[in-house]
Amino acid sequence: DIQMTQSPSSLSVSIGDRVTITCRASQSISNSLNWYQVKPGKAPKLLIYTSSTLHSGVPSRFSGSASGTDFTLTINSLQPEDFATYYCQQSYTGPRTFGQGTKVEIK
């Protein structure tokens, strides 16, 4: 299986901050990398697919980029509703696998 290593595991940030989360694949996955937002008791949300395409309805402060096997999720000007746990997921081949998650908390 392709392993996804996500960092950091948690972040303490303030409203208006810029947040960067990184995900590294254990092998080449082309641009087959997706990002999700998960909140307790809520349905998880797809944010970005194929590494940089914003899903319909997702605010433009979210963006994604890729460099080789490294992928980045950036949240510009963090809003109160953005405090959540974020996961990457590879969709390149085999069993779908996720990163360990990054919890974004209020400082």
Binding site residues, another protein, CB under 8 A:
1, 32, 34, 36, 38, 41-46, 49-50, 55, 85, 87, 89, 91-92, 95-98, 100-101, 103
Quick one: 16 or 81, whose CB is closer to another protein? Answer: 81
Sign of the C-alpha dihedral computed for residues 46, 48, 49 and 53 taken in this order: positive
Please tell me the distance from the alpha carbon of residue 59 to that of residue 62, in angstroms, as a whole number: 6
Place of tokens 């746990």: 85
Quick one: 13 or 46, whose CB is closer to another protein? Answer: 46
Quick one: 16 or 95, whose CB is closer to another protein? Answer: 95
What is the separation of C-alpha 15 from the centre of its chain, rounded to a whole number of angstroms?
Answer: 18
Instruction: Give min distance, CB of 91 to another protein, in A.
Output: 4
Instruction: Give min distance, CB of 16 to another protein, in A.
Output: 26
Rounded to 5, what percent of the chain is helix, strand, coil? Answer: 5, 50, 50
Instruction: Give min distance, CB of 47 to another protein, in A.
Output: 11
3, 95 contact by CB (below 8 A): no
